[in-house]
């Protein structure tokens, strides 16, 4: 039924979404700062969890301190690929020049 007058009226639904922003760099920075504060506040031994965190951060930031690290690794990978291709081509050439392939095929398809 409909209510007439100034009594209880149906209120519109509102949307109360509060957006949150996640910044992984900022979080990592805050964790590093907290670790440094703890490190220099008391000169105690670093416990296992802090050590794990430091190692994890080292793996995440590998090469971040040296800008030429990535280019050096790409050059090394390119040279490695060239060496592998060269060795494979040499093996194919040596097998094609010898009669080992013919002997292998004869043994493979020999009628018994």
Predicted confidence (pLDDT) per residue in 28-76, tens digit: 888 888 887 777 666 555 566 677 777 777 777 765 666 677 788 889 9
The structural domain count of the chain equals 2
- pLDDT of res. 76: 93
Query: 78 and 55: one domain?
Result: no
**One-character DSSP codes across 45-72:** PP-HHHHHHHHHHHHHTTTTS-TTHHHH
Q: What is the share, in percent, of the chain residues with pLDDT greater than 70?
A: 77
> Would residue 7 count as lying in a domain?
no
- pLDDT of res. 28: 83
Query: 59 and 80: one domain?
Result: no
> Would residue 86 count as lying in a domain?
yes
Residue 24: exposed, middle, or buried by beta-carbon count in 10 A (0-12, 13-18, 19+)? exposed
Tell me, yes or no, if the pTM score tops 0.75. Answer: no
Residue 100: pLDDT band (50, 70, 90) is: confident
69's tokens: 């690290």
């Amino acid at each position: 039924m409909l209510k007439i007058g100034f009594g209880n009226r149906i209120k519109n639904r509102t949307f109360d979404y509060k957006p949150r922003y996640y910044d992984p760099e900022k979080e990592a920075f805050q964790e590093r700062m907290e670790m440094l504060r703890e490190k220099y506040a008391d000169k105690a031994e670093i416990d296992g969890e802090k050590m794990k965190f430091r190692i994890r951060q080292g793996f995440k930031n590998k090469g971040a301190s040296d800008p030429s690290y990535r280019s050096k690794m790409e050059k090394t990978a390119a040279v490695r690929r060239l060496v592998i291709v060269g060795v494979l081509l040499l093996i194919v050439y040596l097998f094609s020049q010898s009669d080992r392939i013919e002997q292998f095929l004869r043994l493979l398809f020999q009628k018994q």
